[in-house]
Amino acid sequence: MLRTLAIHDFVIVDAIEIDLSAGFSVFTGETGAGKSILIDALTLALGGRADASVVREGAARADITAEFVGPFDAALGEWLDQNALNGEEGALLMRRVIDNGGRSKAFINGITATVTQLRELGELLVDIHGQHAHQSLLKADAQRLLLDAHAGLQDEARAVAAAYRSWRAVVRQREEFERDAKQVLLERERLEWQVGELEKLAVRPGEWTDISSEQSRLSHAASLIDGAQQALTVLSESDSSPVLSQVSAIEQKLGKLVDIDDKLRPVLDALEPARIQLQEAVYALNDYLGRIELDPERLRTVEARLEAIHGAARKFQVAAEDLPDTHVRLSERLAQLSDASDIDAMRAQEQKLADAYHALATKLTKARTKAAKSLAGAVTAAMQDLSMSGGRFDIALQACEPAAHGLEQVEFLVAGHAGTTPRPLAKVASGGELARIALAISVIASSATATPTLIFDEVDSGIGGGVAEVVGRLLKRLGQDRQVLCVTHLPQVASQASQHFQVSKGTMSDGRTVSRIERLSASHRVEEIARMLGGLEITATTRKHARELLAS
């Protein structure tokens, strides 16, 4: 559940920290005091969209931190493990910072995170029902999504959508081929010729570099042999005192003189390794001359290969060293066209994917049918307590052409009174009826989910009197199993809460308008309920009525 919400420099809030408990809590206050600002701030901490306008005027940044405490379910623990965002056992910290330039930073358990990660985690922790939820219920997509969420069918719906996309992709490929068959055939013939040319040439990766080096060596073989032989002659084979012999003679001479003057020792020590290195050079030259030879035939072969590779590179307009990659790329494209050109194979694949889609969609239809009956019965029962006695709520699943959402359209139907035929929600429900039905659906659908914290932001607008008291009891009952937070303007709802916060607006000494929040004591709660009942003038009668509401 949400344990603490800390808000700094957000809209008209300078600094607020709220400690929350389990059960049913309400937030009340005058219009414009900033009740919904608290929900907006929490929404940001849960990954909602943000911009610079949320930063309090004159402040550098807005900072919102939401602390949740466990126990947490397995899905949440698994998500934290997968994203390496674990924190202290039994605690979870979500933070969002937005600067006055509109830049945003997100943190989970003190670790830098993405806004997407905040949003994914938030969906596991909090379910928010906004004050305009009843308006979205008029849309077919929203009705279908609500039914799927209530029945826990989101994964099945996603699988159907994925199967539909795969099926339609092959349909489009087949239709494109049939439409452009002539162009495809011409491209395939061109590729067959190109791939055939490259297969005959069979250029190996790295071959261009290797054969270029060999050609350079072979074409300069005479110069290489002559140069190496000259070096060998100077070092060891010259008739007139080769270098190696001279160094050896000097070394022997100094070996005798060093006994006379030891200061020659460093010179002698330097000559010895020089003589050894010269001897090594002689060995290496002999070895090189033993292996290198003039080979005109091989040179002609190598130069012919170079010319063939170079010619192919010009033809395909690529670098010579890129010919092997070009061969692979063109071969892959030819294989794709060869597969695509088999119209029978394409049709067989199309049918296979269509069958897979219909199997998943039919299974989803059966699950939706069962869930629709259950949800309709629960909402109908709730309508009887919400001054809609005899009313009935139905969910119609109307067959449609195969689509990403399945084989049916979901439509909510309502009969406001006994003996009338249920008709589409948008056509028969008045504003008050729609608000009550939306609230009943929200409460019932929420009770079917595992989300630990539920927030209702003025979803009770458009109702009052005894119905409002029933709504309060519904939320209180829901609060026995979950943490329920509700922004409300109805005293009948507020009186049912186990925890009551008052949001107010004041003016600072510097003229700034700020929002404040206070957890109400029993006596202050009577005053706030009385204000909600009687408006500006609070009388003894309204206080008595407030006490009666709280006592009930």
> Comparing 474 with 462, which gets the higher pLDDT?
474
Using the predicted structure, report yes or no on whether residue 190 has a pLDDT greater than 60.
yes
Q: What's the CA gap between 11 and 56, in Å, rounded?
A: 4
**Which of 216-225, 457-466, 489-498 shows the highest mean pLDDT?**
489-498
From start to end of 100-223, where are the E strands?
Answer: 104-108, 111-113, 126-129
Contact 458, 36 (CB under 8 A): yes
Percent of residues, the chain, with pLDDT higher than 90: 26
The token pair at 351 is: 């049918």
Average pLDDT over residues 372-380: 92
Nearest to 494 by CA among 552, 431, 435, 436: 552
pLDDT band at 239 (very low <50, low <70, confident <90, very high): low
Q: How far is CA 363 from CA 57, 160, 206, 402, 512, in A?
A: 54, 10, 55, 14, 59
> What is residue 5's DSSP assignment?
E
pLDDT band at 107 (very low <50, low <70, confident <90, very high): very high
Amino acid at 332: E
Using the predicted structure, report yes or no on whether residue 161 has a pLDDT greater than 80.
yes
Cis before 71 (ω within 30) = yes
> Comparing 340 with 388, which gets the higher pLDDT?
388
> What is residue 152's DSSP assignment?
T
Q: What is the mean pLDDT of the chain?
A: 84
From start to end of 173-277, where are the E strands?
Answer: none
Using the predicted structure, report yes or no on whether residue 308 has a pLDDT greater than 60.
yes
pLDDT of residue 113: 92
The token pair at 412 is: 């909510």
pLDDT in tens, 218-232: 766 667 766 776 777
Contact 437, 429 (CB under 8 A): yes
pLDDT in tens, 415-458: 878 888 888 887 765 666 776 777 777 777 766 666 788 888 77
Using the predicted structure, report yes or no on whether residue 262 has a pLDDT greater than 70.
yes
pLDDT of residue 3: 94
pLDDT of residue 285: 79
Q: What's the CA gap between 383 and 416, in Å, rounded?
A: 9
pLDDT of residue 489: 87
Q: What string of DSSP letters covers 164-222?
A: HHHHHHHHHHHHHHHHTHHHHHHHHHHHHHHHHHHHHH-PPTTHHHHHHHHHHHHHTHH
Using the predicted structure, report yes or no on whether residue 61 has a pLDDT greater than 90.
yes
Percent of residues, the chain, with pLDDT higher than 70: 90
> What is residue 49's DSSP assignment?
-
**Under CATH, which number does the domain 1-126+496-519 receive?**
3.40.50.300
pLDDT in tens, 20-41: 999 999 998 887 767 778 888 9
**Which of 66-75, 165-174, 450-459, 499-508 shows the highest mean pLDDT?**
165-174
Using the predicted structure, report yes or no on whether residue 341 has a pLDDT greater than 60.
no
Average pLDDT over residues 491-500: 92
Using the predicted structure, report yes or no on whether residue 123 has a pLDDT greater than 80.
yes
Q: What's the CA gap between 307 and 544, in Å, rounded?
A: 106
Average pLDDT over residues 512-517: 82
Using the predicted structure, report yes or no on whether residue 117 has a pLDDT greater than 80.
yes
pLDDT of residue 156: 95
CATH 3.40.50.300 domain position(s) in the chain: 1-126+496-519
> Comparing 463 with 315, which gets the higher pLDDT?
315
pLDDT of residue 466: 76
Using the predicted structure, report yes or no on whether residue 468 has a pLDDT greater than 90.
no
Q: What's the CA gap between 463 and 373, in Å, rounded?
A: 26
> What is residue 235's DSSP assignment?
I
Average pLDDT over residues 242-247: 79
pLDDT of residue 211: 84
Average pLDDT over residues 38-48: 89
Average pLDDT over residues 502-528: 84
Contact 124, 75 (CB under 8 A): yes
Phi and psi, residue 433, nearest 5°? -60, -45
